[in-house]
């Protein structure tokens, strides 16, 4: 099975396209959506609010964002959650969902390298 990424705005579309997939919403301030057994909320895997805001406002460059987000993902709880996602990906397609494409791609890259 595959690990993919998508923007939160495309969540419904992806749910329809791949009804057996599992979706991990890696955001801290999750907008309202219809909850079901395919979707799991994982705010701990999203960049901290301060980091995301600093990046969005241009106070830090992409390199600083990647470095700081990578360091945030080194926490034991993040490591365990990522291992759990990898385990689930053996049986299901997985989608990493976030509004921040850079965050999605970095998390996807880390998951691919853990394998």
* 69-107: pLDDT as tens digits: 999 999 999 999 999 999 999 999 999 999 999 999 999
Identify the domain containing residue 65 by its residue range: 3-114
Separation CA 34–CA 94 (nearest Å): 18
| Tally of domains in the chain | 1
* 26-44: pLDDT as tens digits: 998 888 777 788 999 999 9
Q: Which residues lie closer than 8 Å to 22 by C-beta, 6 or more apart?
A: 38, 39, 40, 88, 92, 93, 94, 95
Task: Point out which residues pair with 85 in neighbouring strands.
Answer: none
pTM: 0.90
Query: For residue 78, which of 104, 111, 49 has the smallest C-alpha distance?
Result: 111
């Amino acid at each position: 099975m595959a690990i993919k990424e998508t923007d939160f705005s495309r969540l419904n579309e992806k749910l329809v396209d791949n009804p057996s997939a599992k979706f991990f919403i890696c955001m801290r301030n999750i907008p309202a959506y219809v909850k079901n057994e395919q979707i799991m909320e994982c705010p701990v895997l999203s960049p901290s609010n301060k980091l995301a805001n600093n990046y969005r406002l241009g106070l830090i460059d992409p390199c600083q964002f990647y470095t700081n987000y990578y360091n945030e993902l080194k926490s034991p709880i993040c490591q365990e959650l990522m291992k759990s996602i990898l385990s689930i990906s053996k049986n299901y397609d997985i989608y990493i969902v976030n509004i921040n494409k850079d965050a999605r791609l970095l998390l996807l890259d880390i998951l691919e390298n853990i394998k």
